[in-house]
Amino acid sequence: MTRRSSFLNACAHLSVLALVVTLTACSAPAAKTPAPVAPTATALPAPAAPLAGLPAAALKTQFPPIVPPPDNPTTPEKVELGRQLFYDPLLSASNAMACATCHHPDLGFSNAAAISPPRAGAPGRNVPTVWNAAFNRHLLWDGRVESLEAQAVDPLTMANEMAAAPAEIEAELRAIPAYVELFDAAFGGREQAVTFDNVTRALAAFERTLLSRNSPFDRYVAGDASALSPQEQRGLALFFSPQMHCAECHQPPTFAHETFRVVGVPSEDPGRAGVSPAGVRGAFRVPTLRNVARTAPYMHNGSLATLEEVVRFYADGAGRANGFPSVDPLLKGFELSPQDLTDLVAFLHALTDESGLPPVPQQALSGLPVAPRIASPAR
Ligand code: HEC
Ligand code: HEC
């Protein structure tokens, strides 16, 4: 064990704030530059955490409330309808593409491709997970959509995605008695309930149930000290350390943040600047790291193949090393031993929890085949 990692190990038993402070003190032996890590103007507030209490418990924070729009309260009937629709290729013009084709349940509700086809107003991008999308106030990499209901419209109708015409979807669904039953149970009104708007409502209701919040990390902070291995605990300490700054952007409990930051993977994508006059070019929403071990490749353009590559990219100073001028000031690079790398990646794996995966239909209600299950090597 290196001197630094034994240091970190010792420090891992402290509350977040104490952890940050202590690691600053502990970090001196191995810090790349002697300069103290001062908060910058753009630094995010430290993750909210109680000042006192048990060490790991201090990292336990409340998930934000899930607030469905007033006209779409979540009900079990709607969720069940949404689950069937999510997997049903009937919703696409070709009858060959479902939401689950790109948001595959065995790939962290993402897919293995670097990018998907471009959309109106946005270039081709990596498919983000929909696990915990319920907590996102801004959806998509550039945050241009603000509700799951509204978000469903694009993939359903875009020519290069599912390319469906709303009236056609309605007619096809109305012709299937099992769907009429489900729409009726969810919304009432028999055939009248089978509308495009209700399709988007049911999909959104289903997505709001895709919650991942019982990972080894969650069990550890809830008091089960054995939930994280010593290696994962070292990785946790690195993740929350003032050298690496990871937790300042990827804030628990979502490990995401509702801000747009420039990391700087080489890309022509304008990011937030493409959708908001106040947006910075190349800034993207801080994505969740929950179930991130399942969703390779990484970044908005899928340009980094593995979590190891992502961590090395940050260690090298992220886009700064590639000459990107506006890279976030938190991303100055850090020293990374081979041990640190495996420890940090082990911690990222400890953010995996798929216990809330609802049953995946073996066949769509329309009779069409659903995307075949994939044995996940990471599982
Ligand atoms: C062809 C692949 C593809 C299909 C099919 C598809 N999506 Fe997506 N989805 C994407 C891509 C790519 C993005 C990110 C686009 C961007 O950020 O500009 C995305 C983003 C999302 C997001 C935003 C997640 C977040 O946290 O920002 C949600 C929610 C979503 N899709 C739901 C759906 C639903 C529901 C369907 C079916 C109606 C669907 N998708 C079909 C590729 C796809
Ligand atoms: C300044 C804020 C910031 C800091 C600090 C930061 N990240 Fe990120 N992270 C982001 C943003 C923004 C993205 C998306 C960038 C893009 O797609 O171009 C991202 C993407 C990622 C991804 C890819 C997620 C995916 O689904 O594709 C991983 C993994 C990741 N970060 C891990 C880390 C780790 C580990 C650290 C600490 C070493 C860290 N991040 C520090 C903002 C940050």
| Per-residue model confidence (pLDDT) at position 52 | 31
The answer for residues whose C-beta is within 8 angstroms of residue 35's C-beta and 6 or more apart is none
d(Cα 321, Cα 130) in Å, to the nearest integer?
Answer: 31
Terminal Cα-to-Cα distance of the chain (whole angstroms)? 28
What is the Å distance from ligand 1's center to 116 Cα? 9
Q: For this structure, is 268 an active site residue?
A: no
For 341, other C-beta atoms within 10 Å of its C-beta total: 17
Element (H, E) at 78: helix 76-87
Which candidate in 149, 161, 207, 354 is catalytic? 161
| Mean pLDDT split into 10-residue runs, the chain, 379 residues | 39 38 35 36 39 63 94 98 98 93 96 81 87 97 96 88 92 98 97 97 98 97 95 96 96 97 95 95 97 97 97 96 89 97 98 97 96 78
Ligand nearest to the CA of 310: 2
Three-class SS state of 86: helix
Note the pLDDT of residue 377.
Answer: 60
Buried-state track 207-242, b at ≥16 Cβ within 10 A, e below 16: bbbbbbbebbbbbbbeeeeebbeebbbbbbbbbbbb
Which of 155, 109, 149 shows the shortest CA–CA distance to 371?
109
Task: Answer whether residue 278 is part of any domain.
Answer: yes
CA-to-CA separations, 237 to 15, 35, 59, 224, 229, in angstroms, rounded: 10, 20, 11, 17, 12
The span from the CA of 199 to the CA of 349, in Å, is: 34
293 within some domain: yes
Tell me the pLDDT tens digit for each residue of 276-320. 999 999 999 999 999 999 999 999 999 999 999 999 999 999 998
- The closest ligand to the CA of 158 turns out to be 1
Q: Is position 281 within any domain?
A: yes
* Nearest-CA residue for atom 15 of ligand 1: 140
Residue 246 sits in a domain whose CATH number is 1.10.760.10
pTM, full prediction = 0.89
The predicted structure's pLDDT at residue 226: 95
pLDDT at position 121 is 64
Q: Tell me whether residue 262 is in a domain.
A: yes
> How far is the centre of ligand 1, averaged over its atoms, from the C-alpha of 181 (Å)?
27
* Residue 163 falls inside a structural domain: no
Taking a C-beta distance cutoff of 8 angstroms, is the pair 290, 132 a contact?
A: yes
Question: Do 262 and 282 meet the contact criterion of CB atoms below 8 Å apart?
Answer: yes
Q: Give the closest residue (by CA) to ligand 1 atom 35.
A: 152
Q: How far is the CA of 155 from the centre of ligand 1 (A)?
A: 6
Looking from the CA of 269 toward its CB, the CA atoms found within 13 Å total 26
Going by alpha carbons, the residue nearest to atom 1 of ligand 1 is 161
Q: What is the pLDDT of residue 379?
A: 59
Instruction: Tell whether 263 is covered by a domain.
Output: yes
Mutating to test ligand 1, I would choose from 101, 102, 147 the residue with most ligand atoms within 8 A of its C-beta, which is 102
C-alpha distance from residue 178 to each of 96, 188, 231, 377 (Å): 20, 14, 50, 36
Where does residue 367 fall: left (phi above 0), alpha (psi -120 to 50 degrees), or beta otherwise? left
Q: How many helices (H) and strands (E) does the chain have?
A: 13, 2
369 bridge partner residues: 363
Q: Residue 40's pLDDT is what? A: 36
Instruction: Please give the pLDDT value at position 159.
Output: 82
Alpha carbon distances (Å) from 191 to 85, 174, 184, 186, 202: 16, 6, 7, 12, 15
Element (H, E) at 203: helix 196-207
Residue 285's SS3 state is strand
- 99 φ, ψ (degrees, to nearest 5): -55, -45
Q: Report how far ligand 2's centroid is from the alpha carbon of 287 (Å).
A: 7
Which pair of structure tokens corresponds to residue 217?
């990390």
97 lines ligand 1 (CB under 6 A): yes
Domain housing 8: 4-18+213-349
* Closest alpha carbon to 263 in 280, 278, 247, 275: 280
* pLDDT score for 23: 37
Q: What is the total count of domains within the chain?
A: 1
pLDDT attached to residue 321: 83
- Do 194 and 179 touch, CB atoms closer than 8 A? yes
| C-alpha of residue 114 to centroid of ligand 1, in Å | 14
Is 88 within 8 Å of 171 (Cβ atoms)? no
139 Cβ inside 6 Å of ligand 1:
yes
90 touches 368 (CB < 8 A): yes
**Is there a domain that residue 335 lies in?**
yes
Give the number of other Cβ atoms within 10 Å of residue 31's Cβ: 17
